[in-house]
Structure 1
């Protein structure tokens, strides 16, 4: 009875593992995209970009107010760049931590599933692996949500950035808005968070007591 219950639980963990994997892929993709904030800029010194995409790890400028136009240049940030504001520095670390935690959670889920598949049915240890995986996924999802909220707050407050003069970008644009990367990040956070919540809620649900087999008379 315990074996059947654990195998049924593993089926739920497999579904959660797939959902977490999709969310983790979206989260990794967000790290490489620049469209977190869209800056619409008036004419500046030559070359005169009309639009810029400000990401967590790079900024790209465009000649016209059209993302389909050819980018003038993309500048990647480094840890030695002193011009980066504190909010970007913190969100960089949050995104890194979220992806590492989600990856670790996936590893723990694989270890738990492996124990079930090879019939090493040490139920308490296996459930602990799934619980740890769910907790890590929840933390990772919360971290990504914090990044999204902080980015939204920066756009709404029209925060500026002291980019180097070689970037030909003003401290603050004429207008800025949320970029297309944000919905992808929100989807990643929802998938990872829901997977963790489902894993924890399922593991913490009270189990029905197994029915003892009738002894032979």
Structure 2
């Protein structure tokens, strides 16, 4: 019973890992990492810009157009992106890939436990590798959060193309709603990795090779 209790702990860890991975995907795709307030731009009078890791969206509240929100996606050929955003892009992609790989290894380990295919070294290594990948993924997300927060504190500007109608630096800026979501994603990833530390095969469940009698 103790073995399956530990396995159930790993199942809970898998759920946390999946939730953290989904939130990481959401944070990567949305733009609300930095909120720029543009109040003194000569023309056109954009009201707000949301700067993300892969796109920037502008919002003009008094626009006469049917779509007051305009979004521009980044590409790898965009040279105007600052170094910190380029690094953060790769860190988030790495966190997504590591989280996905960690989930796969955890599923393989749980399958061995619940089907009775217990091999101490193999099963333990699967959970160990999953733990390491989850912790690394969570750490990478925290690095992105810290980098984004530092850019906002330093009031860094971005030289967007003129067609975006976004000034190099806004009148004021603040952290966007993706920051607490990213912190939650990183925390879930780290918690998922820490939970797998508790998994150890009990001596009664270890598989020993059969010794033939001479």
Which runs of 4 or more aligned residues in structure 1 lie more than 3 Å from their structure 2 counterparts after TM superposition?
A: 69-72, 207-210
Q: TM-score, normalised by structure 2?
A: 0.88
Contact 1:62–1:70 (Cα < 8 Å) also in 2: no
RMSD over aligned Cα, in angstroms?
1.9
Matched, 1:48 2:15: no
- Give the structure-1-normalised TM-score: 0.87
- Please say which of residues 79-88 and 113-122 is displaced more in the overlay: 113-122
Identify the residue that residue 5 of structure 2 maps to in structure 1: 8
Q: Which runs of 5+ in 2 are unaligned?
A: 205-214
Contact 1:43 1:50 in 2 (8 A): no
User: Match for 1:81 among 78, 82, 93?
Assistant: 78
Contact map agreement 2:10 2:199 (CA 8 A) in 1: no
Q: What SS does the aligned partner of 1:125 have?
A: helix
Aligned: 1:151 with 2:148? yes
Across the two proteins, how many residue pairs are aligned to each other? 201
Give the Cα–Cα distance (whole angstroms) in 2 for the partners of residues 71 and 135 of structure 1.
45
- Which of 164, 168, 174 does residue 167 from structure 1 map onto? 164
After TM superposition, the structure 1 stretch with the greater mean CA deviation from structure 2, 49-58 or 115-124, is 115-124
Pair 1:39-2:31 in alignment: no
1:4-153 paired onto structure 2 within 5 Å: 4-64=1-61, 71-153=68-150
* 1:59-105 superposed Cα distances (whole Å, 9 cap, x missing partner): 0001139xxx9543100000000000000000000000001101100
Identify which range, 41-50 or 92-101, moves more after superposition: 41-50
- Equivalent position SS for 2:71: strand
Partners of 1:87 and 1:150 within 8 A in 2: yes
